[in-house]
A and B are shown apart, each in its own frame.
Chain A
Amino acid sequence: MDTKARDRAARLAAAREALGARLAGKRVDTGAIVDLLHAVLRPGDRVCLEGNNQKQADFLAKALVQLDPARIHDLHLVQSVIALPEHLDVFERGIASLLDFSFSGPQGARLAKLLSAGRLRVGAIHTYLELFARYFVDLTPKVSLIAAQAADAHGNLYTGPNTEDTPAIVEATAFSGGIVIAQVNELLPEGGALPRVDVPADWVDMVVLAPTPHFIEPLFTRDPAQISEIQVLMAMMAIKGIYAEYGVQRLNHGIGFDTAAIELLLPTYGESLGLKGKICRHWALNPHPALIPAIEAGWVESVHSFGSELGMEDYLRARSDVFFTGPDGSLRSNRAFCQAAGHYACDLFIGSTLQMDLMGNSSTATLGRIAGFGGAPNMGADARGRRHASPAWLKAGQEARAHQRGAAATPRGRKLVVQMVETFREHMQPAFVETLDAWELQRQAGMDLPPIMIYGDDVTHVLTEEGIANLLLCRDDAEREQAIRGVAGYTAVGLGRDHRAAENLRDRGVIRRPGDLGIDPRLATRNLLAARGMRDLVRASGGLYRPPKRFRNW
């Protein structure tokens, strides 16, 4: 049957009729966008309104909000990130009613309110890879509204460095009888050539010039000036106590100052330990400016990225031997592939959390907000389908299985999943708790499961300023609890430790203090950072890194 093809043809014919001369080939007049959406959309359609971690199809989002809810309603939005107010305005206005997504950081509080007011229903909160996977199973978009840097006269698209989710969205839509509409910052005249083609014109139905360039958030920039001595200490422990110990060559870093400190210690502290070439050679990572000194010192062989980072464009171009770039020289990112790389090809994930319980479950979910976790659960989970070996993966697997029997003792490796947290966050909020807020949030929002970011049975190491707890070596849940309490510092959880049990775990190397690792906390100073401020990063890049204005603080 060809019902999908006929439906698609009917919608495109409706668009031609509604737009008349305002549609030339695939080019839609900017002012005709609302009429176009009215013509191609039907009530109940599944729509992907490209909302990435960074790049936003903001012009198309504004247009979608302007639709007449009497004509277009009950849309089902399927997109990774709910970032813009418009992403929720469409629910408030009755244009959409059902949402499947991955992350809603900035809009988390409003999303929770709309949900409890019954203005929207949530299908599920996914990880990125899960949502992309479902695009090809049962959440295939009928219409996708995407963002690209430029289009040529035929409708070929150049996404620029922030390709992010675009390939996954377009692939699912274009090959299932759906319709792809792209907003672009630049329309090339007839004969004009794109720097490269990221999406072939064949897969794109309409192109519209946006009145302003699409919004991009510089999400991964951390000013080294804000890294604390405690973060330096924890970074030293990570490098010496975990990276060197396991010989970690392939890894992913979560976002934040804790991991920025590690990146900035590689060319200094890491170098002094003789670790260059022995650790941290291959990365699944956004182009963190904090990685520049390590790259310049020759530590890094390759970096594949989920997205790009504002200000890094020229530096990436100049380091095409390290970053994935097109023949044109600019970065090609791809969230789906990088998530797969992080999940299957990396030996270690290290990231932070807001809360961890006594079983090692961790979550950034807080009361009154529905935020999701984006990619952390894919990175911070053992890849059960992995079969290739590496020294780090094998060593972690041996530790995990040494005290197992039967099926659980079958030889296999294990992904290193490290949670790096200071025992107290700002305003003396304890990072270690008896019960995660996630459980209360589950009750409040009527979720099937508590929103746990990383499950305790996936966590291999907990790293705090007090020490490293190696959960792989714990023989039972009671030991695991004492290992976590044993690095939980002066939190109520930490003060509640059994001191004798903690010392026993220390004798067995389950708990290791800075001193046990040969690290003197008094030597953990900011002088160890390869860059101590934004200006140092710019200098390290040879002037190629151009931080956004809000980071130009010198």
Chain B
Amino acid sequence: MTPMPPGLETLDFRFAGTRAVPSFAPVLVGVVGSGNLEVMLEPGDGADCAVRVQTSARGFAPIWQAVLDDFHRRHGLAGVRVSINDMGATPAVVSLRLDQAVQELRP
């Protein structure tokens, strides 16, 4: 187990991808600051899109699920690992950062 600062919640999600992304350099957008978040995209194993969320705002798993469902519906990424470090960003900011990160994807 990775030691974590108290108060952080870790959430894992996995989606069956449909859009394979050619190999790409890791992408990082956003900053970890109050009401904001950092999104990192890295090449992942297999055809799934795996998302790990570490957030200071505990207890919002159903909202993360809904936000990420919609994200996956928009992009359907396959073979991508998404890491999110969140400090209480609203769903609107989360969706915006995710879309900004996908826009940066380049082989």
**Contacts from A to B (Cβ < 8 Å):** 228-230, 233, 422-424, 426-428, 465-466, 489-490, 495, 521-522, 524
- Encode B27-69 as 1/0 by CB contact (under 8 A) with A: 0000000010000000000000000000001001001001100
B22 contacts A by Cβ under 8 Å: no
Report the contact-size class of chain B (Cβ under 8 Å from the partner).
10 to 19
- A422 and B103 form a contact (CB under 8 A): no
Minimum CB–CB distance from B3 to chain A (whole Å) comes to 26
Minimum CB–CB distance from B84 to chain A (whole Å) comes to 15
Known contacts A424-B90, A428-B60, A489-B91: A521-B66 contact under CB 8 Å: no
Minimum CB–CB distance from B87 to chain A (whole Å) comes to 12
- A490 and B88 form a contact (CB under 8 A): no
- B90 and A423 form a contact (CB under 8 A): yes
Where chain B touches its partner, the secondary structure class is: helix
Chosen A-B contacts, 26 in total, with CB atoms closer than 8 Å, are: A228-B93, A229-B93, A229-B96, A230-B92, A230-B96, A233-B96, A422-B92, A423-B90, A423-B91, A423-B92, A424-B90, A424-B91, A428-B90, A465-B92, A489-B91, A489-B92, A490-B63, A490-B66, A490-B67, A495-B66, A521-B99, A522-B96, A522-B99, A522-B100, A522-B103, A524-B96
- A521 and B90 form a contact (CB under 8 A): no
CB neighbours (8 Å) of A426 from chain B are 35
CB neighbours (8 Å) of B92 from chain A are 230, 422-424, 465-466, 489
Minimum CB–CB distance from A147 to chain B (whole Å) comes to 39
Closest chain A residue to B67 by CB distance?
A490
CB neighbours (8 Å) of A524 from chain B are 96
Partner of A230, one of B63, B66, B88, B90: B90
- B96 and A521 form a contact (CB under 8 A): yes
Closest chain B residue to A524 by CB distance?
B96
Q: How long is the Cα–Cα vector from A230 to B60 in the complex, in angstroms?
A: 20
Closest chain B residue to A495 by CB distance?
B66
Q: How long is the Cα–Cα vector from A522 to B96 in the complex, in angstroms?
A: 7
CB neighbours (8 Å) of A495 from chain B are 66
Minimum CB–CB distance from B82 to chain A (whole Å) comes to 17
CB neighbours (8 Å) of B67 from chain A are 490
Q: How long is the Cα–Cα vector from A362 to B48 in the complex, in angstroms?
A: 43
Contacts beyond the supplied A230-B90, A230-B92, A490-B67: 11 A-B pairs with Cβ under 8 Å:
A228-B93, A229-B93, A230-B96, A423-B91, A424-B91, A424-B92, A428-B60, A428-B90, A489-B91, A490-B91, A522-B96
Closest chain B residue to A230 by CB distance?
B92
CB neighbours (8 Å) of A427 from chain B are 88
Minimum CB–CB distance from B46 to chain A (whole Å) comes to 28
Known contacts A428-B60, A490-B63, A490-B67: A230-B91 contact under CB 8 Å: no
Closest chain A residue to B63 by CB distance?
A490
Q: How long is the Cα–Cα vector from A354 to B78 in the complex, in angstroms?
A: 40
CB neighbours (8 Å) of A228 from chain B are 35, 93
Task: Name, among B66, B92, B96, B100, the residue most crowded by chain A CB atoms within 10 Å (CB to CB).
Answer: B92
CB neighbours (8 Å) of B96 from chain A are 229-230, 233, 521-522, 524
- A428 and B66 form a contact (CB under 8 A): no
Closest chain A residue to B59 by CB distance?
A428
Task: Name, among A465, A466, A490, A522, the residue most crowded by chain B CB atoms within 10 Å (CB to CB).
Answer: A490
Q: How long is the Cα–Cα vector from A553 to B100 in the complex, in angstroms?
A: 30
Minimum CB–CB distance from B94 to chain A (whole Å) comes to 9
CB neighbours (8 Å) of A233 from chain B are 96
CB neighbours (8 Å) of B103 from chain A are 522
Minimum CB–CB distance from A522 to chain B (whole Å) comes to 6
Q: How long is the Cα–Cα vector from A425 to B20 in the complex, in angstroms?
A: 36
Q: How long is the Cα–Cα vector from A522 to B88 in the complex, in angstroms?
A: 20
Minimum CB–CB distance from B67 to chain A (whole Å) comes to 6
Q: How long is the Cα–Cα vector from A132 to B91 in the complex, in angstroms?
A: 43
- Encode B77-107 as 1/0 by CB contact (under 8 A) with A: 0000000000010111100100110010000
Q: How long is the Cα–Cα vector from A228 to B100 in the complex, in angstroms?
A: 15
- A428 and B57 form a contact (CB under 8 A): yes
The 7 closest A-B pairs by CB, nearest first: A465-B92, A490-B91, A424-B90, A230-B92, A490-B63, A490-B66, A522-B100
Minimum CB–CB distance from A31 to chain B (whole Å) comes to 50
Q: How long is the Cα–Cα vector from A426 to B99 in the complex, in angstroms?
A: 22
CB neighbours (8 Å) of B66 from chain A are 490, 495
Minimum CB–CB distance from A232 to chain B (whole Å) comes to 10
Task: Name, among B66, B67, B96, B99, the residue most crowded by chain A CB atoms within 10 Å (CB to CB).
Answer: B96
Q: How long is the Cα–Cα vector from A422 to B96 in the complex, in angstroms?
A: 14
CB neighbours (8 Å) of B99 from chain A are 521-522
Minimum CB–CB distance from A236 to chain B (whole Å) comes to 13
Q: How long is the Cα–Cα vector from A146 to B66 in the complex, in angstroms?
A: 55
